[in-house]
Structure 1
Amino acid sequence: MRINGLLPLILRRCGSAGLVLGLSLSAPLARAQSAPVAASGAAPVAQASVAMRPVVMPTMPVIPVDQAQLIVAAQKASQRGDPQPALDALPQLKGTLLEPWVAYWAIKPTLTKATQQDFDAFARAYPHTYVLDRLRNDWLLELGRRQDWADFNRVYPHFIMRDDPQVQCYDLQSQYVTQHADVTAQVFKLWMDQRTGGPGCNSAASALLEDGAMPRDMLWQRMRRFYDDGRAKQARDLLAPFLPPGSWRILAQTDTDSVRYLLDLVRRGPQAAIANADQRQYLVLALLSMARQDPGQAARLLQDSFSALPAPDRAQIWGRIGLSAALSLQPEAVGWFARMAQADPTYAPSDTVLQWQARAALRAQDWAQVRSATRTLIDRGDSDPAWPYWHAMALEKLGHPIEGRALLAEIANPWDFYGQLATDALGMKVSLPASLPPAPMAAVAQQASRPGLQRSLALFGLDLRFDAVREWNFSLRGLDNNQMQAAAELACQQQVWDRCINTSERVKGGVDIAQRYVMPYREAIGKASKAEDVNEAFLYGLIRQESRFIANIKSWVGASGLMQLMPATAKLVARKIGLTDYSHDQIADVGVNVQLGSAYLGGLLRQFDGSEALAAAGYNAGPGRPLRWRNMGLPDRPLLPGAVFAENIPIPETRDYVKRVLANATVYAAILSGKPQSLKARLGDVGSPDAMLASNQR
């Protein structure tokens, strides 16, 4: 579609503004300052009734400086475990907007000594607030730790969020203890889903194991999962008490000295170990441990010395061997995954093993394995859009184009990575549909009057982002699409860009493009794009993923600003580009941050011969890793399509990052150019420099 009217709409809203710390909404909204402009071909924006009846926006409370200082000090002290600043501030903040939060920061550090009466008093003082439900979560964890099921069962029915698996496990343990309920299957599933087990799930599982209500084979399954995840010591500490005497020592050897343990078994003859139920489990754990560290050696031992293991055990070990090889991009991975199915055709591998089986098969272009693995993932309900796309591609490659194209048509869309690739695969380019009409002013005003959103915006204004995000998300419960779009618009107008984008993404049935793909700081980003010869759409796509356009954000590792620059990187780039007056306190300045980040990104693009996929990977994971990853093609196929490269990035965060940045960039390119785009062309092919040169010369 033609979208020439869309960019002016976005620019009128965003301009070059930064994060507004004040919270006044008394000024008219930007969208109301001029007639709304819809994308060409969109339905007319039906706002006449709103325009005829002026809507007075409520004035958002502004926190006085003296109160703001008390609030921030209370929050920081509470994080350190000190409740006193919050206790001292409460009398001075009585009746103010953020009083509930200060009360929460006062009680949170004291929960290990608190009583049910203390919690009940808080609940009476701050009913129907997010902080009450946040405290319920904390208090239920404490009650579970105490095994106080009487109070736990009084509090739990009022718990709204119920999104903490540890609380869920404590609830199941309570049902088991107080009602003798059969909860083994539910506990086991939650327990298996947690990499660390967690206090609640470990507690519930231990209670069932102590009573013999959880079968021994479940214990061994969980033990194997701990080993798979590289948490063997945790497995020993938690589960050895439920095994025969001396288990802890044997388990330690299977983890820390698996080679010697296995070679000793080979010398003595493995038949006795395989015949004994517990010793066989130790043997499997040792092979799983070796498979993580040295898949080749594990494969040789399994094939040559331990082939008499039961078929399901061999299948699991082959799967772990294949997984380790796939994660290190070894070409043997496909063959080892195939051995898994050969060992036991009925074996059901974990989702992680199936996912990496599909990825390794993509690199090898083994489309039969791709089809098999993706089909199973889809049937299991794996929601990753990668699997329908790759299943469709496998169907086409294996001679089923009608079924493949039908599946591609189901997933094609202009917004996400695989939706855009499906559009490309159908022979079309990515065109943006008509945007939703802007949210009516009256609806935005209604959301602005809600106390939860007011508290959230006040917290954002104090740069207490973690608490602000939680309050905001809690306040979105139960909103319909129109109300959700209005809440997103409120965040946009307050220039809280991450809530603007994320809330807009929850709207179903259409996209408000000016919300979901905001373009603030246009002057600074455009200037940096030209100066460093970095595609502006790519720059916007990367910033949208890095910081959601929050200029003063700082990550837990110390990265700062729009482009999330590490201090050392910023200093190095400043020196390279001749920014002689640069100092660290400038890193959050929008202009400086984008200038330095764009220069760094431009250097990565030059290093990787213009590949945006490799540059994005380098920006997230450091340039050294993509230098290795770009050689992931097999000897007979050294060049890989960019989508296959992206799907095989071993680090989950970087894999997701590259996909999102490139999908964002494709949308921004459509907005900026007004023309349809191709994600496949943007990705290109990826390979070693020699392979790329040879490809270009053909």
Structure 2
Amino acid sequence: MKKKYRCGYLLLMCVLTLPVTVSGNTLEQQRADFLRAEKLIAQGNDEAFWNVSMSLKSYPLYPYLHYQWLKNNLHQTSRILRFLSEYKDTRYAGLLRSQWLSYLAQHENWHEFLQHYQASGNSTLECQFYWAKYLTGDTQLALNEAKRLWTVAKSLPKECDALTSILIKSPLFTQELIWQRFELALRKDNVQLAEYLKRLLKDQTSADVWLKIHKKPELIGSDTLWISPDQQGGHIFAHAVDRMAKTDPELAMQIWDNRKYNFAIDAQTDQRLERRLALALAFKKNKKAYDRLSRLANVDAEVREWKVRAALLEQNWQHIADALAGLTDQERLEPRWQYWQARALAKAGDVLQAQNIYNHLAEDRSFYGFLAADTVSKPYQLADKPVFLSGNALETLAEASDFKIAQELDFLGRVPEAQRQWWFAIKKLPKERLMTAAKLAQQWQWNQVAIFTLAKAEYWDDMELRFPVNYLNEVSNNAYRHNLDPAVIFGLIRQESVFDRYAESPVGARGLMQIMPKTGQQIARDLRENWQSEASLFDPNINVKYGSFYYRQLLDRFNGHFALATAAYNAGPKRVGQWLPSGETVPADIWIETIPFKETRKYVSSVLAYIMIYQERMHRKALRIKDFMLDVLPG
């Protein structure tokens, strides 16, 4: 294992330890010159920058350095074109092209813009491209594409104004088109956009009614609110039912059944709402869901799966068997449905066939495989097969320019940029080389990157790579402190952050166990510690201490029920309280399978499976999956 260097501001001390020579200059000197050249860019000292940069052409980060200068000098057309040609295969060519095209559009250099435009999924540049097409005579194409770009549920960038202005003046801009976008906006709850679009409509009365029931959908149950019975009124009525289904699906279903024949509702909308209501009942754990799902004319994978879950909610094993029979052949092969097939067969008295399925499923390294293994008293199978590296495959990949850039960025402490470069680099690799890349990331101690890269290769059997045992001291100490098995904490870390100590979620959760700052502050008070800062949650010592303490609290709150505590760690204890059965005890496997949130359902099954894997990885035998399968009592 190579030693990993991360120097940051101590670069000059760190580089002294690496006497590598590159093209006459030591790598240490090139790193120092690179940092000096970046300062010269910031100072705007172009002459000195070019003098320094001349010695860096063999340095891995030269394209990155050159890009940094060019993005500040977008008027340098010849230099930009040379860069785009010489470094066309680098990540920085695409970044520079986008910025240069924006510059050309800003300066209305449409001829050059069209000559060098490449589709990139950037809606701003796409609008500017079709505006350029319009200006250069391709008016019909521009108008058709303007219509497509305009009909979205979000506001467009201001750079699209010129293009949309010609659309609005054209025959393509109809009241029907405005209503289409109005409805799209409200489906995405973009009320501000809908309010703007209302001003473009001739029938503002209907728009006002639609906006009113969007905000208070229960109004459709009142006879005081008049909705026209035509097709437009049908859309308004259907939208209200759709909105109400989220909070009160049973009332929404009642209103839909009683009043839908009063409106002109097309077959597609009718089927969409029938599906929406049936699934909404299932998400609310309503036992009417199975019957409603069974009545759907058009079914897809989600409906087929939720029909099984709706039957499980009833604990009606004949319905469960019927719903399983409705799955496709491919779906029935999934471990999840194999397990429920065995359960249904056993309930029907076909014990031998159930045993055969359990025995086969017990070979699978998954939550359902472990459940099956416990049912037939078999040991868990990890099927550990490390990635095989032939010859010097690892060294060869590490020497590729894209990976040298990533490693050098990491050495300089620019971790986010290094990882962006990594994901760019692996886009080009076939699966076999992706596996090699995963081992390279593991060697660099990029655990999260290694795991995700191996997943892209669709290889699942390298247990050391996929389930590292990092931060063992922090985990062991806190497991002992809070009377938890270390495998439990490892399972949570593996699911929450994939061992990235600097992980940060979109909502602000931080660190290995993804602690929210407010939760961290409360835990600090509970532990009678001084709260340091949000940044302290990136410290593994603090994060694991707080995360394991919080999990212990949840475990105590739910009477030692690991499945409930694990669900609460993901979705919050209040939601889990709402998901508890109201009248009868529910087996834990059924409760987990019928968790309404897909994310939480997957989270619980993954964490519990990871705990079992870490038990095996750490050569412990204290826990089995059945220890987490206590019946769920009514709330």
Structure 2-normalised TM-score? Answer: 0.73
Selected match of 1:253 from 208, 212, 216:
212
Q: Distance in 2 between matches of 1:670 and 1:183?
A: 62
Q: Distance in 2 between matches of 1:409 and 1:206?
A: 66
C-alpha contact 1:205 1:214 (8 A) present in aligned 2: no
C-alpha contact 1:240 1:247 (8 A) present in aligned 2: no
Map 1:553-568 onto structure 2 (within 5 A).
553-568=503-518
Partner of 1:131: 92
Relative distance call for 1:293 and 1:397 in structure 2 (3 A) is same
C-alpha contact 2:508 2:516 (8 A) present in aligned 1: yes
Say whether residues 1:317 and 2:317 are aligned partners. Answer: no
C-alpha contact 1:457 1:468 (8 A) present in aligned 2: yes
Q: Distance in 2 between matches of 1:306 and 1:146?
A: 55
Could you tell me how far 1:334 is from its partner in structure 2?
1.0
Partner of 1:602: 552
Map 1:501-580 onto structure 2 (within 5 A).
501-508=451-458, 511-577=461-527
Could you tell me how far 1:453 is from its partner in structure 2?
1.7
Could you tell me how far 1:224 is from its partner in structure 2?
5.8
Relative distance call for 1:156 and 1:582 in structure 2 (3 A) is closer
Could you tell me how far 1:609 is from its partner in structure 2?
2.7
Q: Distance in 2 between matches of 1:682 and 1:149?
A: 68
Map 1:561-640 onto structure 2 (within 5 A).
561-577=511-527, 586-629=536-579, 631=580, 633=581, 635=583, 637-640=584-587
Could you tell me how far 1:314 is from its partner in structure 2?
4.3
Selected match of 1:346 from 293, 297, 305:
297
Q: Give CA-to-partner distance per residue, 1:647-697, whole Å, 9 cap, x none.
A: 444445444433332232221112122669854x25414524x67xxxxxx
C-alpha contact 2:67 2:92 (8 A) present in aligned 1: yes
Q: Distance in 2 between matches of 1:169 and 1:408?
A: 54
* Comparing 60-69 and 356-365, the one that deviates more: 60-69
Q: Give CA-to-partner distance per residue, 1:144-178, whole Å, 9 cap, x none.
A: 99999977775566x6xx6x596998799899996
Say whether residues 1:684 and 2:629 are aligned partners. Answer: yes
Say whether residues 1:285 and 2:244 are aligned partners. Answer: no
Runs of 5+ consecutive residues of structure 1 not aligned to the other structure: 1-12, 29-58, 75-82, 692-698
C-alpha contact 2:554 2:565 (8 A) present in aligned 1: yes
Say whether residues 1:98 and 2:61 are aligned partners. Answer: yes
Could you tell me how far 1:130 is from its partner in structure 2?
1.4
Q: Aligned to 1:430, what secondary structure does the other structure show?
A: coil
Letter in 1 for 2:421: E
Selected match of 1:493 from 443, 447, 459:
443
Say whether residues 1:663 and 2:609 are aligned partners. Answer: yes
Relative distance call for 1:542 and 1:86 in structure 2 (3 A) is farther
Say whether residues 1:334 and 2:334 are aligned partners. Answer: no
C-alpha contact 1:487 1:503 (8 A) present in aligned 2: yes
Q: Distance in 1 between matches of 2:179 and 2:33?
A: 58
Map 1:212-231 onto structure 2 (within 5 A).
227-231=186-190
Map 1:320-399 onto structure 2 (within 5 A).
320-327=276-283, 329-331=284-286, 334=289, 338-339=291-292, 342=295, 345-347=296-298, 359-365=309-315, 388=337, 392=341, 396=345
C-alpha contact 2:358 2:373 (8 A) present in aligned 1: yes
Q: Distance in 2 between matches of 1:550 and 1:68?
A: 27
Partner of 2:23: none
Q: Distance in 2 between matches of 1:410 and 1:208?
A: 61
Say whether residues 1:444 and 2:398 are aligned partners. Answer: no
Partner of 2:21: none
Q: Distance in 1 between matches of 2:371 and 2:240?
A: 42
Relative distance call for 1:416 and 1:211 in structure 2 (3 A) is farther
Q: Aligned to 2:222, what secondary structure does the other structure show?
A: helix
Q: Distance in 1 between matches of 2:556 and 2:109?
A: 61
Letter in 2 for 1:600: Y
Letter in 2 for 1:331: N
Selected match of 1:453 from 403, 414, 423:
403
Q: Distance in 2 between matches of 1:205 and 1:429?
A: 64
Relative distance call for 1:670 and 1:387 in structure 2 (3 A) is closer
Could you tell me how far 1:322 is from its partner in structure 2?
3.9
C-alpha contact 1:378 1:387 (8 A) present in aligned 2: no
Selected match of 2:591 from 637, 645, 648:
645
Could you tell me how far 1:246 is from its partner in structure 2?
5.3
Q: Give CA-to-partner distance per residue, 1:417-446, whole Å, 9 cap, x none.
A: 456556667875531114225535722211
Q: Report the count of equivalent residues.
A: 610
Relative distance call for 1:132 and 1:241 in structure 2 (3 A) is farther
Map 1:144-223 onto structure 2 (within 5 A).
155=116, 164=121
Q: Give CA-to-partner distance per residue, 1:201-247, whole Å, 9 cap, x none.
A: x9999999998889999987876665554445545656985885655
Could you tell me how far 1:305 is from its partner in structure 2?
3.2
Letter in 1 for 2:618: L
Map 1:403-442 onto structure 2 (within 5 A).
414-418=364-368, 420=370, 428-436=378-386, 439=389, 442=392
Could you tell me how far 1:472 is from its partner in structure 2?
0.6
Flag the structure with more relative contact order, 1 or 2, with Cα contacts below 8 A and sequence separation at least 6: 1
Q: Aligned to 1:503, what secondary structure does the other structure show?
A: helix
* Comparing 297-306 and 203-212, the one that deviates more: 203-212
Q: Give CA-to-partner distance per residue, 1:69-99, whole Å, 9 cap, x none.
A: 986x99xxxxxxxx96799896566635334
Q: Aligned to 1:505, what secondary structure does the other structure show?
A: helix
Q: Distance in 2 between matches of 1:603 and 1:553?
A: 23
Letter in 2 for 1:253: K
Structure 1-normalised TM-score? Answer: 0.68
For the aligned residue pairs, the C-alpha RMSD in angstroms reads 5.7
Partner of 2:22: none
Letter in 2 for 1:468: A
Q: Aligned to 1:541, what secondary structure does the other structure show?
A: helix
Q: Distance in 2 between matches of 1:656 and 1:552?
A: 23
* Comparing 419-428 and 557-566, the one that deviates more: 419-428
C-alpha contact 1:363 1:640 (8 A) present in aligned 2: no
Q: Distance in 2 between matches of 1:407 and 1:108?
A: 61
Relative distance call for 1:315 and 1:671 in structure 2 (3 A) is same
Selected match of 2:253 from 299, 303, 326:
299
C-alpha contact 1:295 1:321 (8 A) present in aligned 2: yes
Q: Aligned to 1:545, what secondary structure does the other structure show?
A: helix
Q: Distance in 1 between matches of 2:168 and 2:317?
A: 44
Percent of aligned positions that are identical: 23
Q: Aligned to 1:331, what secondary structure does the other structure show?
A: coil
Q: Distance in 2 between matches of 1:122 and 1:525?
A: 49
Could you tell me how far 1:549 is from its partner in structure 2?
1.9
Q: Aligned to 1:687, what secondary structure does the other structure show?
A: coil
Letter in 2 for 1:316: R
Could you tell me how far 1:535 is from its partner in structure 2?
1.3
Q: Give CA-to-partner distance per residue, 1:344-377, whole Å, 9 cap, x none.
A: x43457x666665554443333567767877888
Q: Distance in 1 between matches of 2:142 and 2:355?
A: 46
Q: Give CA-to-partner distance per residue, 1:97-154, whole Å, 9 cap, x none.
A: 334445556677999xx89889646524632101223455677899999999977775
Q: Distance in 2 between matches of 1:400 and 1:109?
A: 75
C-alpha contact 2:339 2:368 (8 A) present in aligned 1: no
C-alpha contact 1:562 1:588 (8 A) present in aligned 2: yes
Q: Distance in 2 between matches of 1:347 and 1:645?
A: 27
Q: Distance in 1 between matches of 2:49 and 2:245?
A: 56
Partner of 1:33: none
Map 1:30-69 onto structure 2 (within 5 A).
64=31
Letter in 1 for 2:214: D
Q: Distance in 2 between matches of 1:412 and 1:146?
A: 66
